[in-house]
């Protein structure tokens, strides 16, 4: 085990996961520097010199910057989703190349959506099949920008699944639909739902920092995903709803338009296997969905279920 980092740079610290990490690090006495678009950050993306200064002397940089994918994929939104990920990663690479005392590890967000729609087997980092479509192209470009950066720093791409946790965050379209009575099976209900608890995300970052032999893509998901049918059953319990109308694919397409998102977010079967993590000895604190939801409900007023998209 290595020592914990003394200074961590968090890019995209205003989002749900970023806020959680910042508070978690600060509670442990770890200094946190932030990079964002607002004046409250220690550096902004528009200030290259300031970005270099913030990165200099840090031990770990975690880049979570990127526009939410919970929106309609019209041209304007699609362009912003892509550019907000590619440009910030490129800017980090250019800045890190000029840092006198670089961090030991650069962790950059990615997404488990990079894999194909899978119902036949889980997708791990070595044997998983890369999918197709807009969200996959975003993920591929995002990771390419990270790994092509010409810096001698260990790099990890976090292929994040859906992140669950209490205390706020973007409300997942699944929860929105359940709250308006559409909390039954979505589509045929057989699509897999890979997820991870936000507390385990923090623990995973510690594990990656400690295990210096890990680099490249790392899947961030519990080893125990559930089908959509089981997900919706447990969500109804968490929301205190005894019933929910099933939503066929055509109706879900319509409902997604109403709440201005994409049906792909709930219809695509995401079956993500955290093989790198489990093979390196990581143990999930919140491994099963019922355990995670019970923890969230115990911390959240009125049994609400905030979640964040990974």
The one-digit pLDDT tens for each residue of the chain (310 residues) are 457 899 999 999 888 899 999 999 999 999 999 999 878 899 999 999 999 999 999 999 999 986 565 555 566 666 667 777 889 999 999 999 999 999 999 999 999 999 999 999 999 999 999 999 888 998 999 999 999 999 999 999 999 998 988 765 434 566 766 777 878 898 899 999 999 999 999 999 999 999 999 999 999 999 999 999 999 898 888 778 888 888 787 777 766 665 555 666 778 899 999 999 999 999 999 999 988 888 877 775 544 444 444 4
Using the Cα atoms of residue 234, residue 218, residue 201 and residue 287 in order, give the sign of their dihedral: positive
Using the Cα atoms of residue 224, residue 298, residue 27 and residue 46 in order, give the sign of their dihedral: positive
pTM of the model: 0.89
277 forms beta bridges with none
- 78-100: burial string, b at 16+ Cβ within 10 Å, e else: beebbebbbebbebbbebbeebe
- Tell me the two tokens of residue 138: 């975003």
Residue 184 DSSP one-character state: S
Residue 310 has a pLDDT of: 40
- Tell me the two tokens of residue 146: 């990270």
Please name the residue that has the structure tokens 């790392």: 218
In three-state secondary structure terms, 160 is strand
Residue 118 has a pLDDT of: 96
Strands (E), the chain: 7-11, 31-36, 43-44, 60-63, 105-111, 154-160, 162-164, 192-193, 195-197, 216-220, 226-227, 307-308
Report yes or no: 293 and 305 within 8 Å, Cβ to Cβ.
yes
In three-state secondary structure terms, 105 is strand
Residue 190 has a pLDDT of: 95
Residue 69 has a pLDDT of: 55
Percent helix / strand / coil, the chain, rounded to 5 = 40, 15, 40
- Which is nearest to 57 in space by CA: 111, 5, 93? 5
Residue 39 has a pLDDT of: 81
- Tell me the two tokens of residue 144: 């390419």
pLDDT tens for 158-210 read: 999 989 887 654 345 667 667 778 788 988 999 999 999 999 999 999 999 99
Q: How far apart are CA 272 and CA 275, in angstroms?
A: 9
């Amino acid at each position: 085990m290595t020592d914990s980092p003394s200074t961590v740079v968090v890019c995209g610290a205003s989002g749900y996961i970023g806020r959680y990490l910042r508070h978690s690090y600060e509670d442990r006495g770890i200094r946190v520097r932030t990079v964002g678009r607002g004046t409250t950050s220690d550096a902004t993306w528009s200030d290259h010199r300031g970005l270099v200064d913030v990165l200099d002397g840090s031990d770990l940089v975690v880049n979570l910057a990127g526009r939410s994918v919970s929106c309609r994929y019209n041209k304007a939104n699609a362009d912003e989703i892509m550019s907000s990920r590619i440009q910030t990663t490129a800017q980090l690479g250019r800045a890190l190349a000029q840092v006198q005392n670089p961090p030991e590890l650069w962790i950059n967000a990615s997404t488990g959506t990079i894999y194909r729609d899978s119902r036949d087997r889980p997708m791990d980092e070595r044997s998983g099949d890369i999918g197709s479509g807009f969200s996959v192209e975003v993920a591929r470009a995002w990771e390419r920008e990270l790994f092509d950066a010409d810096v001698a720093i260990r790099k990890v791409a976090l292929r994040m699944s859906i992140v669950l946790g209490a205390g706020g965050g973007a409300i997942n379209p699944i929860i929105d639909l359940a709250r308006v009575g559409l909390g039954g099976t979505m589509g045929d209900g057989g699509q897999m739902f890979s997820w991870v608890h936000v507390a385990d995300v923090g623990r995973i970052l510690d594990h990656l920092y400690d295990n210096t032999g890990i680099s490249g893509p790392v899947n961030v998901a519990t080893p125990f995903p559930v089908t959509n049918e089981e997900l919706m059953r447990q969500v109804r319990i968490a929301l205190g709803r005894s019933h929910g109308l099933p939503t066929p694919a055509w109706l879900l397409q319509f409902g997604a338009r109403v709440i201005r998102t994409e049906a792909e977010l709930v219809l695509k079967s995401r079956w993500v296997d955290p093989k790198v993590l489990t093979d390196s000895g990581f143990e999930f604190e919140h491994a099963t969905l019922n355990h995670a939801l019970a923890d969230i409900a115990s911390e959240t007023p009125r049994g609400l279920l905030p979640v964040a998209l990974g």
